[in-house]
Amino acid sequence: MNGQPSIIFENKNRISSEDSMEASFQAKHERPFREVFNEFGDTTTFHGLRYVTNNSNHYFRRLIWTVVVLAMTTWLIVNIIDALIIMNKHEQTSTISINYVTDMKFPAVTLCNYNQFRNGLLSEEAIATLGLVYSTSPTRLINRDVDLTPLQDEFDNYNGGTIDFIKNLSHQIEDMVEDCSWRSRPCSHLNFTQHVLDHGVCYTFNNPVDEDDILTVKNPGSRNGLYLRLNIQHDLYTFGENTGAGIKVALHPQGTLPIIKELAFSLAPGFETLVAVREKVINSLPTPFRDNCTNTNFTDYPFKYSVPACNFLCKVRYVIEQCGCRDYRWPAGPEPICSVEDQVYCIYKNEGEFYERGISCDCPICCTTRQYDSQTSQAYWPNANLLATYNLSEQEVRRNYLDVYIFFEEIMYTMVTQSEAYTLANLQGDVGGYMGLLCGMSLITLFEWADFVLLSLLKRFREPRRPMSSENPAL
């Protein structure tokens, strides 16, 4: 009995203490937002905000600082948005470098005689038919009624296939190459490989199957490249697509398909031609950049991907869809080779329509493109002393023969490298600069704001838990 008042008194003290803790907890968590924001403004690293939230400042001063803070924040947001837009455009810039090296790979050199069919291998009727076919532009043949039977019979009566017959009709490399030297050492027609290209039968120098066998040069100049004396055999010319006489030349990387009819340059007989070559390497960027380059390759053809080859094959596919057959000069495929009639009245017609309609082809550039730019100069050929060594008249020599030197102007190449103009590092630098310049902020400031907003939301939408006594209140 004597201990009961003491116990009652202790319980009253405990209850009073708990009420005080609860009141303190509620007071802490039920402070108005304005008071909490003022406290945040006094402690944050967001410069200028403390002058807005400090109640001891005059209201006019606080108003001015409010305008300043809002203006700087708006400016910051606009600049950040602009930076993000610039980065999303994926702009690119080019860097040009000149690279001198100890040696360089010599380009593949493809030669094609202007004439496609040698005289003397076709009947007079077939040659007369060629005259009727090619006496005007091939794209206008569709309105002409020409009997193509004599020409078709020549193809049908040949024991081999159409391609073998065309190769037999063309000028042979052993007849055209009168003299040859590579880096001042003798070479011959055996150093050339035969190909059927868009122009017809052509011959390529320095295009081995194994890339380790590609010829290289260590010094510039005309005596450190390829020299050829060629006989175009002008007297064997017949009618054909070309009205000129000479040799077409294409310089291209090994393994690629040269487009002769549209991109090759010409060598005329009766001249000595110097071809000074410079190499250019272009490195482009893939998607999402504007170049949208590709590293893919042709799956149905043995040559490497290039934009000219892609555009050429685009035309080939279009014409084949219209005619159901292919030109004998096009890369081999499952389609049959066209008859002479289809060649004249369908192939030529739809080739013209393809160019007239301006059909667009999906041919992205290569991520690495190698080009050979050439500069030609000519001199009258031959001189009087050399002419005396031929048992031909000056007119006959100048109608049939030519000299050509193909060489590197310098043992160097120009590299054009595309790179991202506005990178993530640029974005970070700009955003950080804007934050520091306009608001005195850093990334830590953003976490301060995130922490403040998160806690404010939690306090608003989450009921605060009351503190619990360490002992059972029933006691």
Six-digit token string for 234 = 């002008």
Q: pLDDT band for position 459 (50/70/90)?
A: confident
Over 60: is that where the pLDDT of 262 sits? yes
Query: Would residue 474 be called left, alpha or beta, if left means φ above 0 and alpha means ψ between -120 and 50 degrees?
Result: alpha
Q: Are 248 and 402 in contact (CB under 8 A)?
A: no
pLDDT at 87: 85
| Length in residues, the chain | 475
pLDDT at 423: 83
Six-digit token string for 53 = 């939230």
Cα angle 70-73-76, degrees, rounded to a multiple of 5: 150
Q: pLDDT band for position 219 (50/70/90)?
A: very high
Weakest-pLDDT range from 38-52, 109-123, 190-204, 371-385 = 38-52
Extended strands (E) in 89-149? 92-100, 104-105, 108-113
pLDDT at 474: 46
Q: pLDDT band for position 399 (50/70/90)?
A: very high
Q: Are 76 and 435 in contact (CB under 8 A)?
A: yes
Tokens 């043995």, located at residue: 302
Which percentage of the chain shows pLDDT scores above 90? 44
Q: Which fold has domain 96-420?
A: Acid-sensing ion channels like fold (2.60.470)
Instruction: Name the residue ranges covered by the structural domains of the chain.
Output: 4-87+424-461, 96-420
Cα angle 144-146-149, degrees, rounded to a multiple of 5: 155
Six-digit token string for 20 = 């005080």
pLDDT at 145: 76
Tell how strand 108-113 and strand 247-252 pair up: antiparallel
**Tens of pLDDT along 283-337?**
999 888 888 899 888 888 889 999 999 999 999 999 999 999 999 999 888 889 9
Mean pLDDT value across residues 75-100: 89
* Beta-bridge mates of residue 192: 205
pLDDT at 401: 95
Q: Are 132 and 240 in contact (CB under 8 A)?
A: no
Mean pLDDT value across residues 433-438: 82
Number of Cβ within a 10 Å radius of residue 411: 19
Backbone φ and ψ for 427, nearest 5 degrees, come out as -60, -45
pLDDT at 91: 85
Over 50: is that where the pLDDT of 44 sits? yes
Cα angle 232-237-240, degrees, rounded to a multiple of 5: 115
pLDDT at 4: 55
Q: Are 102 and 414 in contact (CB under 8 A)?
A: no
- Which residues 6+ apart lie within 8 Å of 375 measured at CB? 275, 276, 278, 409
Q: What does the alpha-carbon distance between residue 398 and residue 334 come to, in Å, rounded to a whole number?
A: 44
Q: Are 171 and 177 in contact (CB under 8 A)?
A: no
Q: How much is the pTM?
A: 0.78
Over 80: is that where the pLDDT of 51 sits? no
Q: What does the alpha-carbon distance between residue 159 and residue 166 come to, in Å, rounded to a whole number?
A: 12
Mean pLDDT value across residues 387-413: 91
Tokens 């006019």, located at residue: 60
pLDDT at 24: 52
Q: pLDDT band for position 475 (50/70/90)?
A: very low
Six-digit token string for 47 = 């410069």
What is the three-class DSSP state of 171?
coil
H helix runs in 281-423, sequence order: 307-323, 340-342, 348-357, 384-387, 394-400
CA dihedral 437, 440, 442, 446 (to 10 degrees): -120
* Beta-bridge mates of residue 228: 180, 404
Weakest-pLDDT range from 276-280, 368-372, 438-442 = 438-442
Q: How distant is the alpha carbon of residue 236 from its chain centre? A: 43
Over 70: is that where the pLDDT of 133 sits? yes
Q: What does the alpha-carbon distance between residue 108 and residue 381 come to, in Å, rounded to a whole number?
A: 26
Tokens 């993530």, located at residue: 424
Q: Which secondary-structure segment (H or E) carries 455?
A: helix 443-461
**Tens of pLDDT along 319-334?**
999 999 999 999 888 8
Over 60: is that where the pLDDT of 17 sits? no
What is the three-class DSSP state of 18?
helix
Q: What does the alpha-carbon distance between residue 393 and residue 246 come to, in Å, rounded to a whole number?
A: 19
Over 50: is that where the pLDDT of 1 sits? no
pLDDT at 92: 84
Q: Are 375 and 279 in contact (CB under 8 A)?
A: no
Mean pLDDT value across residues 418-425: 85
Six-digit token string for 197 = 């290209």
Considering only CA atoms, give the Rg of the chain.
42
pLDDT at 136: 62
Backbone φ and ψ for 140, nearest 5 degrees, come out as -105, 10
Q: Give the residue among 404, 377, 204, 372 at the shortest CA–CA distance from 277.
A: 372
Mean pLDDT value across residues 273-281: 97
H helix runs in 111-188, sequence order: 124-134, 149-156, 162-169, 173-176
Please provide the DSSP assignment of 207-275 as one string. Answer: --SSGGG--EESS-SGGGSEEEEEE--GGG----S--S-SEEEEEE-TTB---HHHH-EEE-TTEEEEE
Over 60: is that where the pLDDT of 365 sits? yes
Over 90: is that where the pLDDT of 229 sits? yes
Between the alpha carbon of residue 154 and those of residues 157, 167, 258, 286, 302, the distances in Å are 5, 14, 29, 50, 31
Amino acid residing at 303 = F
Weakest-pLDDT range from 8-12, 102-106, 249-253, 358-362 = 8-12
Weakest-pLDDT range from 13-27, 252-266, 292-306, 345-359 = 13-27
